[in-house]
Amino acid sequence: MEIFEDTFRPVSYSRTTVSELMIPAYANFGGKIHGGMLLSLMDKVAYACASKHSSSYCVTVSVEGAEFLQPVEVGEMVSLFASVNHVGRSSMLVGIKVVAENFLAGMVKHTNTSYFTMVAKGENGLPRTVPRLGLENRDDVRRFLEAIKRKQIRELYKSELNNAKTNLEIERELPKLEQERCRLLY
Ligand SMILES: CC(C)(COP(=O)(O)OP(=O)(O)OC[C@H]1O[C@@H](n2cnc3c(N)ncnc32)[C@H](O)[C@@H]1OP(=O)(O)O)[C@@H](O)C(=O)NCCC(=O)NCCS
């Protein structure tokens, strides 16, 4: 198996675009495209991008920023633009911009930008080292630096969340429920 410790691959090597027409079979009961359909497309393009960068089988470890602020309609063409923004030792952060084009209205809307952390695995099933990332312009540098910040914020958020869980004193917090849309039934 090829060892990638000292090799690097430019961002452009694995940049991937996927487009798919939204057909009625992808719609929910309200006639809009299922969020899960878009997540599935994002997962595929993240895999393609990470697998190409690393020449490896990859797994999805985490998904960040999957907020769909505008609905996608049947008949629209969804395009996903993916690139590796950052690499660790075995992990790759793939940024994916999703846009939907409505041909009849002549409109393009940006539905979301999400970040998938993918990990490359070797034939033994263990994480394997991926090539370094060749940053080809200032945008690549900005995304790489942003990814480092995101990771730091994620770690801080995780530890705050853990603290909130372990230090939660239910009796002391009960008055807060008076402003909430719930009722104690015990
Ligand atoms: C993610 C996984 C590979 C981690 O394996 P591990 O033996 O704990 O390996 P490590 O601790 O060395 O972590 C490997 C990499 O994953 C990263 N990682 C682990 N957990 C992570 C998390 N929650 N978020 C982001 N990155 C994470 C580590 O930072 C490390 O990155 P690096 O090599 O670039 O430094 C393993 O838990 C796994 O295979 N999970 C299942 C993934 C899967 O099946 N996905 C499909 C879901 S249906």
Contact 74, 18 (CB under 8 A): no
Assess whether the C-beta atom of 61 lies below 6 angstroms from ligand 1.
yes
pLDDT tens sequence across 84-136: 999 999 999 999 999 999 999 999 999 999 999 999 999 999 999 999 999 99
User: What single letter denotes the amino acid at residue 178?
Assistant: E
For residue 173, the model assigns a pLDDT of: 93
Query: 3-state DSSP call for residue 14?
Result: helix
Ligand 1: centre distance to CA 48 (Å)? 18
Give the number of the atom of ligand 1 that is nearest the alpha carbon of residue 126.
7
- pLDDT band with cut points at 50, 70 and 90 for residue 12: very high
Assess whether the C-beta atom of 90 lies below 6 angstroms from ligand 1.
yes
For residue 2, the model assigns a pLDDT of: 65
Residues 6 or more apart from 76 whose CB is under 8 A from it?
21, 22, 33, 100, 101, 102, 103
Ligand 1: centre distance to CA 72 (Å)? 32
Signed CA dihedral, 23, 28, 32, 35: sign only: negative
Of residues 137, 91, 131, 139, the one with CA closest to residue 115: 91
Residue 84 CB: number of other CB atoms within 10 A?
Answer: 30
Fold for 8-169, please state it. Thiol Ester Dehydrase; Chain A (3.10.129)
pTM: 0.93
User: What single letter denotes the amino acid at residue 27?
Assistant: A
pLDDT tens sequence across 54-84: 999 999 999 998 888 899 999 999 999 999 9
Domain spans, the chain:
8-169
Residues 6 or more apart from 23 whose CB is under 8 A from it?
74
Assess whether the C-beta atom of 116 lies below 6 angstroms from ligand 1.
no
Assess whether the C-beta atom of 127 lies below 6 angstroms from ligand 1.
yes
Q: What is the average pLDDT across 51-55?
A: 97
pLDDT tens sequence across 135-176: 999 999 999 999 999 999 999 999 999 998 888 899 999 999
Ligand 1: centre distance to CA 142 (Å)? 24
- pLDDT band with cut points at 50, 70 and 90 for residue 4: confident
Q: How far apart are CA 183 and CA 106, in angstroms?
A: 48
Ligand 1: centre distance to CA 184 (Å)? 40
